[in-house]
Structure 1
Amino acid sequence: MTSLDRFDLKLLHILQRDARLTLGQLSERVNLSTSQCSRRLARLEREGVIQGYSLRVSPDALGLQVTAFIFLSMDKHRMDDPRSAVAALLKRDEVIECHTVTGNHDFIIKVVVGSLGALSSFLAEVVSPLDGIHDIATQVAMDTLKTNGPLRTD
């Protein structure tokens, strides 16, 4: 695990809230020179603490109105590797997250699609035909209250 000091934590705290800051603005906020700030950022990126910079786009602006969570249970007696069954799903643009979970299901998959009809088609044509599926349960989000919140750095 990477050792993070108070300056690293402050950099991460600030960047999670506004990754568009210039190096000069960032160095002022953490009270470091721009060269020190640059070296720290490069180290955090190299060590995988900072995994990348991305752009968040409104799903509504793209006509993607339905967010759903698909819970999959696998028939582990028929499979050597349950993860291999979901590998094809991970390549689909509709799938924006996939996690292995504890409890009654093995995987939870977050999908974003244009309509309930598109969700139905995705389930019927993409998810249901997967080998080794024992059970599928789906829940549709009624409203999204928070996404991509910053991680705690303290």
Structure 2
Amino acid sequence: METLDRFDRRILHALQRDARLTLASLAEAVNLSPSQCSRRIARLEENGVILGHDLRLDPEALGLKVTAFIFLSVDKGRMASPRDAVAELLARDEVIDCHAVTGSHDFILKVRVADLAELSHFLSTTISPMEGIRDIATQVAMNTLKEGGPLKVMP
């Protein structure tokens, strides 16, 4: 793992908040020259600290008004690999996040859909028929208070 100095951390902090900063603006914000910033960004990308530059979209503007969390428990004896079983779900556009977790469930999926009817259809046609699913629990978010926030990079 790469050791990050205070300038690397300042660069990451600034870019997480606005990835469209020009090199000149970034350099001014972190007190380095544009060429130093450019070299550091390239190194951080090469070393896998910066994974990409994503475009964030407003789900509601796209008609995706329902956020739900689907908790899955699997019967490990009925499937060769639980991770392989959920692999087909990872390719679905409705599935935003998927985590293998500890506790009473094995996986948590975060999904975005247009409405409750679409959520019901997704559950009944995609998740329920899956081989080896033992239990499904779903919670619908009433409001999203924070999402996709920046990671803590400053000490």
- Deviation at residue 54 of structure 1 after TM alignment: 1.1
- Deviation at residue 130 of structure 1 after TM alignment: 1.1
Distance 1:80 1:7 in 2: 47
Distance 2:79 2:98 in 1: 19
Distance 2:50 2:129 in 1: 37
Could you say which residue in structure 2 is the equivalent of 1:39?
Answer: 39
Could you say which residue in structure 2 is the equivalent of 1:55?
Answer: 55
- Deviation at residue 39 of structure 1 after TM alignment: 0.7
- Deviation at residue 79 of structure 1 after TM alignment: 2.1
User: 1:151 is matched by which residue type in structure 2?
Assistant: L
For structure 1, which runs of at least 5 residues remain unmatched after alignment?
none
- Deviation at residue 83 of structure 1 after TM alignment: 0.3
- May I ask how many residue pairs the two structures share in their alignment? 154
* TM-score (norm. length: structure 1): 0.98
User: 1:131 is matched by which residue type in structure 2?
Assistant: E
Distance 2:3 2:80 in 1: 37
Identity %: 67
- Deviation at residue 35 of structure 1 after TM alignment: 1.1
Could you say which residue in structure 1 is the equivalent of 2:71?
Answer: 71
| SS of the residue 2:61 aligns to | helix
> Does residue 1:16 correspond to 2:35, yes or no?
no
User: 1:30 is matched by which residue type in structure 2?
Assistant: V
CA deviation map 1:95-149 (0-9, x unaligned)? 0100011100000000000000000000000111111111100000000000011
Distance 2:100 2:117 in 1: 26
For structure 2, which runs of at least 5 residues remain unmatched after alignment?
none
- Deviation at residue 58 of structure 1 after TM alignment: 0.9
2:65 touches 2:112 (CA, 8 Å); kept in 1? yes
Distance 1:49 1:133 in 2: 35
| SS of the residue 2:2 aligns to | coil
| SS of the residue 2:14 aligns to | helix
Distance 1:79 1:64 in 2: 32
Could you say which residue in structure 2 is the equivalent of 1:133?
Answer: 133
| SS of the residue 1:71 aligns to | strand
Could you say which residue in structure 2 is the equivalent of 1:143?
Answer: 143
- Deviation at residue 34 of structure 1 after TM alignment: 1.0
Could you say which residue in structure 1 is the equivalent of 2:86?
Answer: 86
